[in-house]
Amino acid sequence: MKPVILVTRKLPDAVEQRLLRDYDARLNPGDDLYSADELVKRAEGADAILPCHTEKFTAEVIARLPKSVRAIANFSVGYDHVDTKAAKEHGLIVTNTPEVLSDATAELTMMLMLGAARRASEGERLVRTREWKDWSPSFMVGTQVTGKRLGIIGFGRVGQVVAKRARGFDMEIHYNDLQRLPSEIEAGAIYHKTPEELLPHCDFLALHCVAIPETFRLLNAARIALLPDGAIVVNASRGAVIDDDALIAALKSGKLTAAGLDVYNNEPTNIHPGYRELPNVFLMPHIGSATKETRIAMGFRALDNLDAIFAGKEPLDRVA
């Protein structure tokens, strides 16, 4: 008998074909978003669940899962949607899909930087609405990226690739992480022990830290005040690392020139309404990993973890 895998969202064809080949897969062809009750019901008799970040595995949901479920193999690098402490208490293995989305997320980060700096949202809207009337030296003047200082909070896989891409724009790289990295990984990047030490050196600030209690609202009013006037903030990690009210206030006051965001608190439908009202925010709908190549690689990574689990081996990407 093949293990039964509950797949919560529509996955790339290549991933679903491998699932159907190797497992008894319960797919979601309509790409419906399951409620907690429906998730628990559909998991009846399943050996594992392959979810995305859209499914919330709270302690209450985990306690209700059928005892047959052995693992939650996430189709995401982030796993803040899973209560890992509760999962451990119930003997569940939890995995994620790191590494394979670093390039795609770094590309998106560069797009956020350029889009925010060069007022892409405003410009595109002018063209689409036929409001673009003429050209003048003062028309749509933005901020140049080339040669500026880029601060990165979270110098892991994605942060390192962002630094590599940014060097193509002759940017000076500064970073903060839990500890200084070897010089060959830094590649000239300048280490700062705390965010407070880093922030005064950031013409651009890119957030690439994980969402954990220690990083909740990491970018708050006090830390924004430490940024140079006119700085630009981009976030392609998780919405929870930003204090929305503080960021919006800084964008309104002119303390910050602009922001580029791909992730939000309470996404997708209940993000802070202030963001939609601001012309100096470049908004994307959480698509950091949304390339064909990356989504297939993420699916295969999740399946590699499941293959290991059902072969009695330790999965490569275990987080609980």
Residues 183 and 43 in one domain: no
Domain membership flag for residue 275: yes
Position 252 scores a pLDDT of: 98
pLDDT of residue 208: 97
> Are 67 and 130 members of one domain?
no
What pLDDT was estimated at residue 236?
Answer: 98
pTM of the model: 0.93
Nearest CA among 183, 186, 185 for reference residue 174:
186
In a domain, 65, yes or no: yes
pLDDT at 213: 92
Same domain membership, residue 154 and residue 236: yes
Q: In terms of domains, do 123 and 256 share one?
A: yes
Query: 238, 301, 314, 318: which is the annotated catalytic residue?
Result: 238
Catalytic residue among 9, 119, 208, 286: 286
Q: Cα–chain-centroid distance for residue 87?
A: 22
Please give the chain's pLDDT, 320 residues, in tens: 999 999 999 999 999 999 999 999 999 999 999 999 999 999 999 999 999 999 999 999 999 999 999 999 999 999 999 999 999 999 999 999 999 999 999 999 999 999 999 999 999 999 999 999 999 999 999 999 999 999 999 999 999 999 999 999 999 999 999 999 999 999 999 999 999 999 999 999 999 999 899 999 999 999 999 999 999 999 999 999 999 999 999 999 999 999 999 999 999 999 999 999 999 999 999 999 999 999 999 999 999 999 999 999 999 999 99
319 occurs within a structural domain:
no
| Three-class DSSP category at 127 | helix
Examine the domain organization and report whether 132 and 65 are in the same domain. no
In total, how many domains does the chain have? 2
In which domain, by residue range, is 76 found? 4-100+292-310
Residues 135 and 263 in one domain: yes
Of the candidates 161, 158, 190, 162, the one whose C-alpha atom is nearest the C-alpha of residue 174 is 190
Write the CATH number for 79.
3.40.50.720
Shared-domain flag, residues 170 and 232: yes
Q: Do 177 and 278 sit in the same domain of this protein?
A: yes
* Active-site residue identified among 99, 107, 186, 267: 267
| 197 part of a folded domain | yes
Q: Is residue 153 situated within a structural domain?
A: yes
Residue 238 falls in the annotated catalytic set: yes
Claim to verify: residue 165 and residue 77 sit in the same structural domain: no
Q: What pairing do the DSSP bridges indicate for beta strands 71-73 and 93-95? A: parallel
